């Protein structure tokens, strides 16, 4: 379900996208509304699941130097169970079912090639129904942002 | 460069991963250290670029219903310039250079198929040096997390 | 077997291609033949299976928003049985055996991505002998016509 | 835009799907409504573009023996113009833009291989921006129906 | 055009398939017809182009050790001219236009790898409109026969 | 083993390539050698397996209208047995093991698409160890010759 | 672990790259250090596994005429065991696990095509878990060197 | 040209394969021949180019941590010039022309991903005629040997 978002909602989200620690007081001043309005809007958006406060770590700074996208071909009927298992690995950042050559595409981060080889040959090998797992290794990152376009919804 | 992270750094990051809004007081109590220690650690980690406070919006809740991964083959020598341009599109969430069949892989979010077709045929068509752009459309999302594994680094 | 079609047959078919509801009287006048001739020609063509009267619904107008082509690779010997089962799904509009990478190509219409994912993982997964099912999602439709070229056959 | 369809609309469409020549009187009797109701419903559905009356010819009966699906890769930016030209060929029955390996997929019918070779080498060769045209030839047809699933829409 | 072949034609062709040097006298005796009948049948079949007398050399015995199949992708519109040029090379035994990934498929025989590399880089490189030439090298030959199935045609 | 061929052998083979029915007398006159020399040379070449006299039928003239190349991927270890079985089908003209994507490549001729579909789904399906069979259909033939280059060998 | 290499280590390695038989006396003179220094440096580098003295044979000179790269797709979990077996074949010169389409890539040398076909169909066929083995045959070699770039490491 | 190798040549080569520094005295004792025989055999084999003395460095020990195989598709006619340029890069260890999907395959070693990206986008981009460069990154090495099989040749 798409949420109805008015202009104030959109402005609040844009400010928090810039800085997730921005204070409600500061937002209220910028938008010329009361701090109570900001608070109630944010609480409603959080409750509806429109956004959440998180932190984004730089993987290279915490020693996760091997960053990969893995395309997985599954046997028909095994996609849901495989995706559920992949969900449990802390190395796995993103999993989705996709149209096209690969049924599942996942993004994962490892300390080194040895950990990646173990993940493929020890962990993925335990999951039934994987036909192929094609690894692409990230050579250089240009963008990794969560600042989506936001527009009024009605 | 990999940061040196001691056990307190790791514990603080793990708590913030759970909830980006957790108060320093709360963290200090949990770890049995002073609030000043928590504050100085967090400030150091922020300054070194280890993490940042952000918000993560649910794209479906804000009307971005068409979520795609696009694999791009480039002419040799054009990768950097193309990546720099892709960086500027608000629709584009992620861009990286990868080993394998596609030189660049990007993740992007659109309101509908029409916007996606326009992005491919109007916007990407302006960039010199794109040989092919293969679109995979997300059918179902299972995980989109930033809770990476964190370990002590020394 | 190819039917013998004379010029009057061809003219009648061309008029009905334009408008499947055109009256026999109108066709007779246009071609300067009797209505009985038109009626007997049409009855013969229907009986020989040269054409049938149908309606063509716009899938978007009836809520079938996800329109796909699925290429299926089968294990040798299973193609006929798989095609027979696919034939029974109301979501499936077209199925044919083809030369090239995919043994069977089908066109199908769904309400949304969830129904498509279920079709792939619940329904196709029941059919024995499917090696791979590669989904292409229609982003924009330019033509969907049944006005084939018709020429005299003798 | 999706039309609102109530149960009577759905029943009328299902009857016409079975037989595009079914009389309004017959439909009215089956549904226990007046012929005027049937007529006004059908006129509204036709006016809104929900369906049209057409005829479906058997291509083999009219001498179109070579039935193909052609996947086309285009240079970025040329898709719209190429699709517009393809639209004009009477041999071409279906053209759509798709996700995946081929940017455009078309279905076309020819009298023989010679006409197909000419279409590829004489006609498609005139269109600027086609990178590749991969031909799959239909070996056997199992289904070619327009009886989509119809459900009440509100 | 398919020739009408009666049972005597078929029997004569089958005998010549076994041995291209079989004498007309021998054939006549086997079929219990006059030698004149055999001669006139063969002359008619030769004149109509149904068959020709040739010799089949073993390429390995005459020093042609590198036997390849080359799949060629062409730019649209260049296929005919490329095929005409390929026709002129004595190394090329077979050229045809095909459906599927490769527009032209050719079979060719070379003395050694050096001659093959020269053919690709010196000779094919002269022909305008070749996008790719993918070489498959024959590792072992199991059958190379001209004994097609022959059936009566009427 | 490569045969030693002197200039007279080469000249004889070239003449027979032009016309498999050329008389020994005619060849002897052209080369200014005795008919006995021609006869003994030809007998030696036949005995050593350098060539054989055959006939080459035009497949279209005898009703074999569907001419295909089929690339087969086999399970490791099954190639020899599969090739041996393929050898027995009269529809199959050529079978070889090749480097590259397909382990076996075969050329076969059929009366129509129905016979081809049966060959794939009834006959090939009986052979154990075939992973995939990719069919390319010949659209136009440009060359099918056995006139290889011949050079003196010593 | 990367070794610390100072400038003298680097110079010694570069001289040995040129000629593996260069005497310690000669190296000492060139670098203006004592022969004892050269000896102790080389012994340390050998002990740490930085390099070893080997001979490089020209495969063509010793009758290994068929030089191939084979890309292997494995079932998940079988890579280690397959690689261990490949390691034992004297025909196999190089084996590595790689990102991309092939899980393992190996380089191997054979006397002729027959030995290659046997290796594929007799030897590889014994190893459990190989999904596909794609052979590329070397047509011409341009470089096969072990003179890596060496730089000071600290 | 293949060298004639007798049993003593073969034994000498096998011993040097084990240890490139083995002394002639040691080899002579093992084979029960004079040191002069060993010396003259080795000198002949070196002069004929059968082998050379080299050193093999462990790339990881000298800081070359990113080891790749790159498959290159070239425009017809550019292969020789591209291979000649690749030959000059010290990062490139191996270059060959191959049958199959990639016209050239090269092996290269880099310090890190940044150097690899620069090689692709700065260096390869300078060479005319490269259509695609597909990178596979080595995740784990199992064998890198020069101990080819050696057999007597006569």
Can you give the pLDDT at residue B84?
96
For a pLDDT cut of 70, what percent of chain H falls above it?
96
Q: Do chains C and G touch (3 or more CB pairs under 8 A)?
A: no
Are C120 and A80 inside 8 Å of each other by CB? no
pLDDT in tens, B87-110: 999 999 999 999 998 999 999 999
**Residue H46 pLDDT grade (very low, low, confident, very high; cuts 50, 70, 90):** very high
The 10s digit of each residue's pLDDT in C7-45 is 999 999 999 988 888 999 999 999 999 999 999 999 999
* Residue G91 DSSP label: T
Q: What is the pLDDT confidence band of residue B152, given thresholds at 50, 70 and 90? A: confident
Contact B136 D100 (CB under 8 A): yes
Q: Are B66 and C138 in contact (CB under 8 A)?
A: no
Q: What is the pLDDT of residues D125-147, one digit of tens each?
A: 999 999 999 999 999 999 988 76
Asked if the Cβ–Cβ distance from C99 to E99 is below 8 Å, we say yes
As a whole number, mean pLDDT of residues H26-49 equals 95
Chain D nearest-CA residue for B123: D77
Residue % of chain D over a pLDDT of 70: 96
Residue of G nearest to B100 (CA): G100
When pLDDT is cut at 50, 70 and 90, the band that residue F4 belongs to is confident
Q: Taking 70 as the threshold, does the pLDDT of residue E1 lie above it?
A: no
**Residue C147: is its pLDDT beyond 80?**
no
The closest of H52, H58, H53, H55 to H109, measured between CA atoms, is H58
CA F151 to CA F130: how far, in whole Å? Answer: 40
pLDDT recorded at residue C1: 59
Judge whether residue H130 has pLDDT over 90.
yes
Q: Do F68 and C100 touch (CB under 8 A)?
A: no
Q: Which residue has the higher pLDDT, F113 or B150?
A: F113
Cβ-Cβ contacts under 8 Å for E128 (sequence gap 6 or more)? E78, E81
Residue B133 distance to chain H (closest CA, Å): 14
**Cα dihedral across residues E111, E114, E119, E122: positive or negative:** negative
Q: Does A129 touch chain B (CB under 8 A)?
A: no
Q: For residue B154, what pLDDT is reported? A: 63
Half-sphere exposure of E53 (CA within 13 A, CB side): 17
Q: Do C121 and A73 touch (CB under 8 A)?
A: no
What confidence tier does F5 reach under pLDDT thresholds 50, 70, 90? confident
E contact test, residue of H2, H99, H104, H128 with most E CBs within 10 A: H99
pLDDT of residue D154: 63
- Contacting partners of chain C (3+ CB pairs under 8 A): A, B, D, E, F
What is the model's pLDDT at position G1? Answer: 59
Measured between beta carbons, the chain E residues lying within 8 angstroms of F148 are: 57, 59, 62, 64, 90, 93, 109
Regions of chain G with pLDDT less than 50: none
Give the tens place of pLDDT for each residue, C136-145. Answer: 999 999 998 8
CA distance B109 to chain A (A): 8
Q: Given CB atoms, is E105 within the 8 Å cutoff of chain G?
A: no
Residue of E nearest to F20 (CA): E54
Neighbours of chain G (3+ CB pairs under 8 A): A, B, E, F, H
The backbone torsions φ and ψ at residue C143, rounded to the nearest 5 degrees and listed phi first, read -155, 140
pLDDT digits (tens, 9 = 90+) for E3-46: 788 899 999 999 998 888 899 999 999 999 999 999 999 999 99
User: Which residues share a beta bridge with B56?
Assistant: A52
User: What does the pLDDT average to over C112-116?
Assistant: 96
pLDDT value for H154: 63
Q: Inspect the interface and report whether the beta carbons of D77 and B125 lie closer than 8 Å.
A: yes
Task: Identify all chain A residues contacting H117, using CB atoms and an 8 Å cutoff.
Answer: 139-140
Q: How far is CA A120 from the centre of its chain?
A: 22
Q: Which residues of C touch E96 (CB under 8 A)?
A: none
pLDDT at C154: 64
E120 vs H79: CB contact, 8 Å cut-off?
A: yes
Residues of D in contact with F114 (CB under 8 A): 140
Give the pairing of strands G51-57 and G130-144.
Answer: unpaired
Determine the distance in angstroms separating the CA of H110 from the nearest CA of chain B, rounded to an integer: 14
CA–CA dist A4, D58 (Å, integer): 50
Answer with the residue of higher pLDDT: E119 or A153. E119
**Structure confidence at residue A71 (pLDDT):** 97
Chain-chain contact of F117 with D137 (C-beta, under 8 angstroms): no
- Give, for all 154 residues of chain A, the pLDDT tens digit: 567 888 999 999 999 988 888 999 999 999 999 999 999 999 999 999 999 998 988 898 888 999 999 999 999 999 999 999 999 999 999 999 999 989 999 999 999 999 999 999 999 999 999 999 999 999 999 998 877 777 776 6
Please tell me which of the candidates H121, H136, H137 has its beta carbon nearest to residue B76.
H121
Average of per-residue pLDDT across E135-151: 86
- Average pLDDT of chain F, as a whole number: 92
DSSP calls for chain F? -PPPB-HHHHHHHHHHHH-TT--HHHHHHHHTS-HHHHHHHHHHHHHTTSEEEEEEE-GGGGT--EEEEEEEEE-TT-HHHHHHHHHH-TTEEEEEEESBS-SEEEEEEESSHHHHHHIIIIIGGGSTTEEEEEEEEEEEEEEE--------B-
So what's the pLDDT on residue C89? Answer: 94
CA B91 to chain centre: 13
Nearest C-alpha in E relative to H80 = E121
G117, closest residue in chain F (CA to CA) = F97
Chain C and chain F share a number of CB contacts under 8 A equal to 25
Q: Do D93 and C56 touch (CB under 8 A)?
A: no
Q: Measured between CB atoms, does E99 come within 8 Å of chain C?
A: yes
pLDDT digits (tens, 9 = 90+) for D53-91: 989 889 988 889 999 999 999 999 999 999 999 999 999
**CA of H62, closest CA in chain E: separation in Å?**
37
Per-residue pLDDT at E17: 87
Chain C residue closest in CA terms to D3: C61
- List pLDDT tens digits, range H59-97: 988 889 999 999 999 999 999 999 999 999 999 999 999
C101/E99 touch (CB, cutoff 8 Å), yes or no: no
Q: What is the DSSP string of C20-56?
A: TT--HHHHHHHHTS-HHHHHHHHHHHHHTTSEEEEEE
Length of chain G: 154
Check if G99 contacts A (Cβ < 8 Å): yes
The answer, for E113 touching chain F at a CB cutoff of 8 Å, is: no
Q: Do chains B and G touch (3 or more CB pairs under 8 A)?
A: yes
Under 8 Å between Cβ of D50 and C56: no
Interface touch E133/H76, C-beta < 8 Å: yes
Whether the Cβ atoms of residue F119 and residue F107 lie closer than 8 Å to each other? no
Chain C within 8 Å of F23 (Cβ-Cβ)?
no
Task: Determine the average pLDDT of the residues in B109-133.
Answer: 95
CB contact under 8 A, G91 and H139: no
Among the partner-chain residues D122, D124, D135, the one whose CB lies closest to the CB of E100 is D135
Q: Do D99 and A101 lie within an 8 Å CB cutoff?
A: no
pLDDT reported for residue H18? 81
Report whether pLDDT(H1) > 80.
Answer: no
Contacts of D147 in chain C (CB under 8 A): 90
ipTM of the complex: 0.91
Q: Is the CB of C33 inside 8 Å of chain D's CB atoms?
A: no
Using CA atoms, how far apart are residues C107 and F68, in angstroms rounded to an integer?
Answer: 26
D2, D72, D76: best to mutate for the B interface, most B CBs within 10 A: D76
Q: Which of D9, D12, D57 to mutate to test the interface with C (most CBs of C within 10 A)?
A: D57
Q: Which chains touch F (3 or more CB pairs under 8 A)?
A: C, D, E, G, H
Q: What is the mean pLDDT of residues F129-140?
A: 96
Asked if the model's pLDDT at residue D150 lies above 90, the reply is no
pLDDT at position G154 is 63
């Amino acid at each position: 379900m798409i949420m109805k978002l008015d202009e104030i909602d959109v402005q609040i989200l844009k400010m928090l996208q810039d800085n997730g620690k921005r204070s409600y007081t500061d937002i209220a001043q910028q938008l010329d509304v009361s701090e109570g309005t900001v608070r109630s809007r944010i609480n409603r958006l959080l409750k509806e699941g429109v956004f959440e406060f998180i932190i984004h770590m730089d993987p290279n700074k915490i020693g996760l130097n091997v960053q990969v996208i893995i395309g997985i071909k599954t046997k028909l009927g095994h996609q849901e169970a495989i995706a559920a298992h992949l969900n449990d690995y802390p190395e796995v950042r993103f999993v989705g079912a996709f149209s096209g050559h690969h049924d599942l595409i996942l993004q994962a981060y490892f300390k080194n090639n040895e950990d990646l080889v173990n993940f493929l040959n020890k962990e993925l090998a335990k999951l039934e129904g994987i036909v192929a797992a094609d690894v692409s290794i990230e050579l250089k990152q240009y963008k990794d942002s969560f600042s989506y376009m936001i527009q009024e919804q009605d």
